Amino acid sequence: MITKLRWWWLLLGCVAVLGAALAGLSFGAASIPLSGVVVELANLVPGVELNSGLDVRQAAIVTEIRLPRVVLGLIVGAMLAIAGGAYQGVFRNPLAEPFLLGVAAGAGLGVTVVIALQPTYAANLPVTTPIAAFTGALGAVTLTYFLGAAGGRDRSPETLILAGVAVAAFLTAMQTYLLQRHVDVIREVYSWLLGRLGGATWSDVTMLLPYATIAAVTIVLLGRELDVMAVGDDEAATLGVHPQVIRVVLLTAASLGTAAAVSVSGLIGFVGIIVPHIVRLVFGSSYRVILPLSLLFGAAFLVLADLAARTVDVPREVPIGVVTAFLGAPFFVLILRATKRAAL
């Protein structure tokens, strides 16, 4: 039975986003009163002038340092989570996600090429980086798909994941070779590869937002088609759905969103497998439910992961990719075991 999306589930997701955002703005190396944060945010509205009780330094931390970082984290988390849900629906595989399918590695290679081969890349970042990342991401997911299908039409979860690992290893080898030829950018590239939201600016947000909006809207609108395709391509075709067209559109949208997110945040793994699975377990298996709720809870999840990354070892900051991998690796093992038991 297809589960219907209920309004209060969306409300719960919005509350999670709001709570995570306020926590990200309030807590950190310098703790700031939550009431002051709320008032300071209200002061950003034109015509509103309230006394937040914060000094100049605290107000600057909230509005100039933490706010763009939190907003960027919300968008990146939402995009990675909904892309993971889309990949799982397209491949009919509960283990599919951008990081494990080699998509993130492909996007990473594209960005590395931009950094290594274009000395003036910073000036062209809003244009060249997303395009390079998107090209690498789409190439990687296409290669993974066909490599996983090489043994026949029946693509088991293990086969697809092994194909993704192989593709990621190949692309990583290419990236390593490129870095050896351009040692002057190694520090910058490896800092980016570990995933980071530190130093986020509003230009990062404005660069990512159009790509993420197009990708997210496209994926959410195709949730019904994914539900129909779950019964099989032939049955879906009789119901007026064109499976191959839907797959191409969803793969393109998910790869676009992933590439854009990776281009500003680096490689952040496992968000696309943790969040959709939790949503599936709690709210049901319909993609009309999984996709929009993954968008919301993915946003909240990454902001909280980033909060942990910058508070667990103060004054140092742990790369956010390390935090998500620490949470995601055991979660992935549990999903793999459950998938194998279901197949018996």
What is the domain range of residue 234?
67-343
CA distance 184 to 180: 9
pLDDT at 151 over 80: no
Is 192 contained in some domain?
yes
Is 122 contained in some domain?
yes
Q: At CA 77, angle to CA 227 and CA 87, rounded to 5?
A: 30
Per DSSP (E only), the strands in 50-100 are none
- Residue 55 in any domain: the answer is no
- In this model, does residue 9 exceed pLDDT 70? yes
Provide the number of structural domains found in the chain: 1
- CATH value at residue 217: 1.10.3470.10
pLDDT tens per residue, range 159-183: 777 888 899 899 989 988 888 888 8
Mean pLDDT of 236-252: 86
Q: What SS3 state is found at 198?
A: coil
- For residue 225, give Cα distances in angstroms to 138, 235, 254, 256: 21, 12, 15, 20
Q: Would 233 be classed as within a structural domain? A: yes
pLDDT attached to residue 135:
83
Which tokens go with 2? 């297809």
Q: Residue 125's pLDDT is what?
A: 47
Q: Flag whether 40 is in a domain.
A: no
**Torsion of Cα atoms, 29 then 52 then 19 then 32, to 10°:** 10
Phi-psi region of 53 (alpha: psi -120 to 50; beta: other; left: phi over 0): left
Mean pLDDT score across all residues of the chain: 85
Examine residue 311 and state whether it is found in any structural domain, yes or no.
Answer: yes
Rounded CA gap, 182 and 177, in Å? Answer: 9
The backbone torsions φ and ψ at residue 232, rounded to the nearest 5 degrees and listed phi first, read: 125, 150
Residues 6+ apart with CB under 8 A from 216: 78, 79, 82, 257, 295
pLDDT over 70 (residue 154): no
Q: What angle do CA 125, 129, 131 make, to 5 degrees?
A: 130
> What tens digit of pLDDT does each residue of 37-49 get?
999 999 998 888 8
| CA distance linking residue 116 with residue 184, whole number of Å | 8
15: in domain: no
Output the pLDDT for position 126.
Answer: 47
H helix and E strand count, the chain: 15, 0
Tell me, yes or no, whether 303 lies in a domain: yes
List the beta strands (DSSP E) in 216-270.
none
Q: Which whole-number Å values give the CA distances from 285 to 10, 91, 95, 226, in the listed order? A: 16, 15, 15, 11
Residues 244-259, mean pLDDT to the nearest whole number: 88
